[in-house]
Structure 1
């Protein structure tokens, strides 16, 4: 009887600790993703910078119009922060500023999330860095123009 109670207690404590960590991680991941997309739309470079790891790479695969070959275009954290500061996201009308965030997976200090924005979808890779969640990689894709949707 005592052994059964001990096992039950260990199970309950482990489950509670895992849930608490998971809820805390989810909140941190969501915060980074929301700071990223809302910072972009608001032109808030400081908020954008808070969401990003300094070595972030944001990439899109495109097709070269002359050679029809695939190529990768890349932005750094610095260029993304500068684009935010220059008001790139402020050009999107408020009613079109979509910012749907979904957490796809979390494992220890790594996570994946998806942001559906006005004209594109971002797939984010995040890492727990110095105690907080930051975006390390973004792979993105443009969505079809509104007329085609």
Structure 2
């Protein structure tokens, strides 16, 4: 019995070492919010602070002419430019935009997050490198899938 208790204690201690801290949770949410808020209020520096330099953002669209699906890809540089230009006139989002963050899974160095925004859903992979959480992958779609054509 003592042997099993010792094994359980070691396993529990090991799990605690791998689990996220309260600060990690805050930082993960902060990064996900920075991603969407940089688009709400054009802020390329805020976007850049949230993204890993090798981030890729993807979605699936339908080419009506060819009747084939294709994957669109955007990279960190594209997203920084988007943050600077997309909502310059302030007409792309409602006055109080939706920005709901759901932590799907968090480990010591990786996290999966779901962002529910007004017109779309973003699934993000966030990675902790050099002590900082950064978005490294985004898979998104419009809520209205007909917009993917």
Which TM bucket (shorter chain)? 0.7 to 0.9
**What SS class does the counterpart of residue 67 from structure 2 fall into?**
coil
Paired position in structure 2 for 1:41: 40
Contact 2:18 2:107 in 1 (8 A): no
**What SS class does the counterpart of residue 134 from structure 2 fall into?**
strand
Q: TM-score, normalised by structure 2?
A: 0.80
Q: What do the CA deviations read for 1:68-112 (whole angstroms, capped 9, x no partner)?
A: 2110011111111111111437321323x1100111001221110
Q: TM-score, normalised by structure 1?
A: 0.80
Paired position in structure 1 for 2:128: 128
- Alignment coverage as a number of residue pairs: 138
Q: 1:88 to 1:64 in 2, by over 3 A?
A: same
Structure 1 consecutive aligned stretches of length 4 or more whose deviation exceeds 4 Å: 17-20
Paired position in structure 1 for 2:137: 137
Q: Structure 2 unaligned runs (5+)? A: none
Q: Which has the higher helix share?
A: 1
Q: 1:65 to 1:134 in 2, by over 3 A?
A: same
Q: Structure 1 unaligned runs (5+)? A: none
Give RMSD over aligned pairs: 2.6
Question: What displacement does 1:22 show?
Answer: 3.0
CA–CA distance in structure 1, aligned partners of residues 124 and 143 of structure 2: 16
Question: What displacement does 1:21 show?
Answer: 3.7
